[in-house]
Amino acid sequence: MATDINLDKYIAKIPFLNRVPTKDLVIFARQLSVMISADVPVVQSLKVLIRQTANKSLRTIVANLAADVEGGSKLSIALGRYPHIFDDFFVNIIRSGETTGKLDEVLDYLATQREKDYDLQSKIKGAMIYPAFILFGLVAVGIVMMIFVIPKLTDILRETGGTLPLSTRILIATSDVMKNYWWALAIAVVGFVLGIRYLISFPLGRKSWDTLKLRLPIFGQLFKRIYIVRFTRGLSTLLTGGVEIVGSLKIAAEITGNAVYKDLILKTMREVEDGNPITTVFARSKDIPVMVTQMLGIGEQTGKIDVILERITDFYTRETENMVRNLTTIMEPLIMLLMGVGVGIMVAAVILPMYSLATQF
């Protein structure tokens, strides 16, 4: 029995075997907050959650947490043993709640903020499903046409021996390459993807990739809004939870998910450590909107930076949602237009030579 428990503890610490969805973590934090606010001891609350947790991986981890806390460990320390599930952001919020004696309030606030993050991510993913599905279908149909349909049609044109239009010759050459060297194209695509992933595993490659994302037409502005929301919401949650400003900035830098913003926030952290305003670095960066810098300056002067951060978060969350909605509206007719142009070119490349051939008789 003891061997099984030790084995579960070992398996629970292996990242790729224990992926826990954000939704399950939100439910975990919310339920734990409710029970602790009802004066149920932490250990007993965790034991109750073992039976209520549907996710098998999280259930094992909660059982381990209950055993660790019952053995005398603090909840924040126990959570810190599973960094692939509970990041520094989560652990530090819990630690601040333990220090201030407001663990239930901190857990509730944490669950609310994570829930907002989850809702925003879900809206973005949901809005992109339809365009992605259409693009996938377009590419799949194009590949099938080029490999199986076009060769049969172009064989007829080749037999005529006449001079074919440029568009037809390009279509035939493309079809031949895809039909005879599909394996090489597949290897090239996989190699390209793996090469990009390898390059961004290095700091310089990662920063270059993240910079490119911010400079993309249209989508670059969307990415900027998403990263700003992550930063302001994370920093607001940490400050409200009682984490000091320097520590909050350090953690917020890690959760933005972009090397450019991480660098800006870490530079800001060093400026704050030296006694300078929080807006010193932001004011010089073109990746931070002027409104954000000005409002942070006002929040710092009035001592209400957490409130200002929350308002900035709400504003840019709405901006992000509106932009995603507008992009989806624009992309649908754009994809249809591209599909029509592609089909038109393909049909013209096949029909025009046939029409020319027919007029010769």
The answer to whether residue 65 is domain-embedded is: yes
The answer to whether residue 99 is domain-embedded is: no
Amino acid 3: pLDDT: 46
| Sequence-separated (6 or more) residues with CB below 8 Å from residue 124 | 226, 320, 324
The H-or-E segment that residue 112 falls in is helix 103-144
Q: Are residues 34 and 149 in the same domain?
A: no
Last residue of a domain, one of 86, 103, 125: 86
Whether residue 74 is predicted with pLDDT greater than 50 in this model: the reply is yes
Amino acid 225: pLDDT: 92
The answer to whether residue 106 is domain-embedded is: no
Q: Are residues 192 and 276 in the same domain?
A: yes
Q: Which pTM was predicted? A: 0.78
Q: Are residues 260 and 318 in the same domain?
A: yes
How would DSSP label each residue in 217-286? TTHHHHHHHHHHHHHHHHHHHHHHTT--HHHHHHHHHHHS--HHHHHHHHHHHHHHHTT--TTTTGGG-T
The answer to whether residue 100 is domain-embedded is: no
Least confident of 13-17, 39-43, 230-234: 13-17
Q: What is the pLDDT averaged over residues 211-237? A: 89
| CATH at residue 220 | 1.20.81.30
The answer to whether residue 260 is domain-embedded is: yes
Q: Are residues 34 and 179 in the same domain?
A: no
Q: Are residues 74 and 117 in the same domain?
A: no
Amino acid 357: pLDDT: 61
Whether residue 280 is predicted with pLDDT greater than 70 in this model: the reply is yes
Amino acid 228: pLDDT: 93
**Total domain count, the chain:** 2
Q: Are residues 192 and 117 in the same domain?
A: yes
Q: Are residues 71 and 203 in the same domain?
A: no
The answer to whether residue 95 is domain-embedded is: no
One-letter amino acid at 128 equals M
Amino acid 154: pLDDT: 72
The answer to whether residue 123 is domain-embedded is: yes
Of the candidates 217, 174, 170, the one whose C-alpha atom is nearest the C-alpha of residue 352 is 170
Amino acid 161: pLDDT: 62
Mean pLDDT estimate for the chain: 83
Distances (CA, A) of 217 to 148, 212, 224, 285, 324: 36, 10, 12, 19, 14
Amino acid 64: pLDDT: 92
Tokens of 274: 């030296």
Q: Are residues 59 and 120 in the same domain?
A: no
Q: Are residues 139 and 280 in the same domain?
A: yes
Whether residue 312 is predicted with pLDDT greater than 50 in this model: the reply is yes
Whether residue 6 is predicted with pLDDT greater than 70 in this model: the reply is no
Instruction: Write the pLDDT tens digit of every residue in 22-61.
Output: 888 888 888 888 888 888 888 999 999 988 888 888 899 9
Q: Are residues 359 and 310 in the same domain?
A: yes
The answer to whether residue 97 is domain-embedded is: no
Domain that holds residue 42: 2-86
Of the candidates 104, 77, 105, 82, the one whose C-alpha atom is nearest the C-alpha of residue 92 is 77
Q: Are residues 77 and 161 in the same domain?
A: no
Instruction: Write the pLDDT tens digit of every residue in 133-184.
Output: 877 887 888 888 788 877 777 777 666 666 677 777 787 888 888 888 888 9
Q: Are residues 360 and 252 in the same domain?
A: yes
